[in-house]
Amino acid sequence: METEAKIEFAPLSAPHGGVFVVFVDGDLKVAPAVAERLGPLARRLASIAKKSQFRGKKQTAVDVVAPADLDVDRLLIVGVEREKNGEPLDVVTLGGFVCGKLGAAKRAQIAFLAPSGEWGAAEAADFALGFRLRAYRFERYKTKKTENDEPKPGAIEATICLEGVEAARAEYASREAVAEGVELARTLVNEPPNVLGPVEFAERAQELKRLGLEVETLDKKEMAKLKMGALLAVAQGSARESRLVVMRWRGARAKKGAPFAIVGKGVCFDSGGISIKPAASMEDMKGDMGGAACVVGLMHALARRKAKLNAVGLIGLVENMPDGGSYRPGDILTSASGQTIEVVNTDAEGRLVLADVLWYAQEKIKPSAIVDLATLTGAIVVALGQEHAGLFSNNDELAERLIAAGRKTGEAVWRMPLSTAYDKQIDSKFADMKNAGARNGGAITAAQFLKRFIKDGPWAHLDVAGTAMGSPSSEINQSWGSGWGVRLLDRLLAEHYEDKR
């Protein structure tokens, strides 16, 4: 893990040293208990704010260094004025904002009391989640200290002060599990491709056994016996062998009940193969396993919080490289389902990997529903930018649940069409289908391709090419690898698929 925050909950006490964080509304008022701790300084807040042109609006702050009448290094005053439309404050984002404003501080005491209204244990836990996600750094390969040869900032110790400490700790336990899952997914995406190939990725997944997961890894020979001709073709040009990893969590009362399956594309590096990509930004293709990273992070979170459901995560891990053994445009592959695929573009490789893993999931796991995640197409970025992931589904209920979970977590999805009208673009003269269609509607034809490997059950495909890596930074994420999808799917499963008894 790469977190740089140590979080504790405690009753509000007299501030001493470090940074003292307080919250004010649009009238620049603090909670009465906070005003008592501030003493005479509380009466001067309006004057301080006026000089700083601070009005208490959300995601604004004023920093007072060495404030008089207070035994702290800094006083950070943070605005939480309510929106005029009445929308509730996003406390997760607030946690990230505060963490960002603390800078290189080593210790912070956060008076988590609302100036007006109520913040309880759940809000405190959400605040802590946002704070921790913002504190993530990936700097394990940096040998220099800083540009100025100063030591890198260490972990910040943050104490969140409120009433109901035990309740907050209990609420935070599940958030902490999710935070760990997000951090794990981010780290996997951030790792360089010479460090994290298919074999090494599978070994990282094996480490989840310590949390109680059953983890099985299939090698090239075992996949060949299963006739996974589509997945294995992608890796023909690489010196690194492919892997299929199956992670099982049995948390439901009925241990043998049909599990929910989550499938991830794990192309650990994608050169494009014979249909090679342009050199510009090819280094970003180390993140073409963002879907698989999310699945591993999600399974970590489910096990850590002991989720009351049966779930199986499956990831197909390959590397797509060009050499004399590479698969070629014009090749015809036979997938595990028996369907044949004409290769017209070796850079449309992720769908070949998913085709065999999705089929395996249905044949061997017999899931109640499937969600797959893949950094599948640049076309989805053209369509939606980097603010939404593309959602394709054969089931309205599953799609609506994903959309709702996206609204609640901020990991937004936008439903795209599935229609047989697009099938003619991937029909082949020589095989059952081609692995790519025309340029127009590229994300849709990719989803239509995947749909040909889905039987009858509920299925959703998330194209996360714009959100899993290189997405815009936010108050809760400053990392290139975002860990996108862990919070979304954890919310989906917690609300709709876990035992409620």
Same domain, 78 and 225: no
Is 501 inside any structural domain? no
Q: H/E element holding 212?
A: none
Residues forming a β-bridge with 433: 341
Is 408 inside any structural domain? yes
Same domain, 195 and 262: yes
Our measurement of the distance from residue 459's CA atom to the centroid of its chain's CA atoms, rounded to an integer in Å, reads: 20
Q: Where does a domain end: 114, 139, 162?
A: 162
Q: Which two tokens stand for residue 253?
A: 């009362």
Please report the pLDDT score of residue 116 as a whole number: 84
Closest CA to 255 of 212, 304, 220, 211: 212
Phi/psi at 313 (5° precision): -105, 135
Same domain, 142 and 186: no
Catalytic residues: 277, 351
Q: H/E element holding 244?
A: strand 243-250
Same domain, 157 and 188: no
Measured CA to CA, the distance from residue 379 to residue 441 in angstroms comes to 7
Is 19 inside any structural domain? yes
Same domain, 126 and 199: no
Please report the pLDDT score of residue 501 as a whole number: 67
Same domain, 294 and 324: yes
Helix, strand, coil in percent for the chain, rounding step 5: 35, 20, 45
Q: Where does a domain end: 108, 134, 162?
A: 162
Please report the pLDDT score of residue 134 as a whole number: 97
Q: Where does a domain end: 131, 162, 193?
A: 162
Is 283 inside any structural domain? yes
Same domain, 144 and 180: no
**Into how many domains does the chain fold?**
2
Burial zone of 501 (CB within 10 Å; 0-12 exposed, 13-18 middle, 19+ buried): exposed
Please give the DSSP secondary-structure letter assigned to residue 421. Answer: G
Is 170 inside any structural domain? no
Category of 227 on φ-ψ map: left (φ > 0), alpha (ψ -120 to 50) or beta: left
Please report the pLDDT score of residue 145 as a whole number: 61
CATH of the domain at 72: 3.40.220.10
Same domain, 158 and 180: no
310-320/389-393 β-pairing: unpaired
Which residue segment(s) compose the domain that 470 sits in?
176-496
Please report the pLDDT score of residue 359 as a whole number: 98
Same domain, 230 and 375: yes
Is 347 inside any structural domain? yes
Measured CA to CA, the distance from residue 238 to residue 24 in angstroms comes to 57
Per-residue pLDDT of the chain (501 residues; tens, 9 = 90+): 466 799 999 999 999 999 999 999 998 999 999 999 999 999 888 888 888 899 999 999 999 999 988 999 999 999 999 877 777 889 999 999 999 999 999 999 999 999 987 899 999 999 999 999 999 999 999 887 656 655 566 789 999 999 999 999 999 999 999 999 999 999 999 999 999 999 999 999 999 999 999 999 999 999 999 999 999 999 999 999 999 999 999 999 988 889 999 999 999 999 999 999 999 999 999 999 999 999 999 999 999 999 999 999 999 999 999 999 999 999 999 999 999 999 999 999 999 999 999 999 999 999 999 999 999 999 999 999 999 999 999 999 999 999 999 999 999 999 999 999 999 999 999 999 999 999 899 999 999 999 999 999 999 999 999 999 999 999 999 999 999 999 999 999 999 999 986
Burial zone of 323 (CB within 10 Å; 0-12 exposed, 13-18 middle, 19+ buried): exposed
Q: What is the DSSP string of 99-143?
A: HHHHTT-SEEEEE---SSS---HHHHHHHHHHHHHHT----TT--
Going through 44-106 in order, the beta strands assigned E by DSSP cover 61-65, 74-79
Same domain, 20 and 138: yes
Same domain, 193 and 127: no
CATH of the domain at 364: 3.40.630.10
Is 393 inside any structural domain? yes
104 CB neighbour count, 10 Å cutoff: 10
Same domain, 340 and 441: yes
Please report the pLDDT score of residue 155 as a whole number: 86
Is 373 inside any structural domain? yes
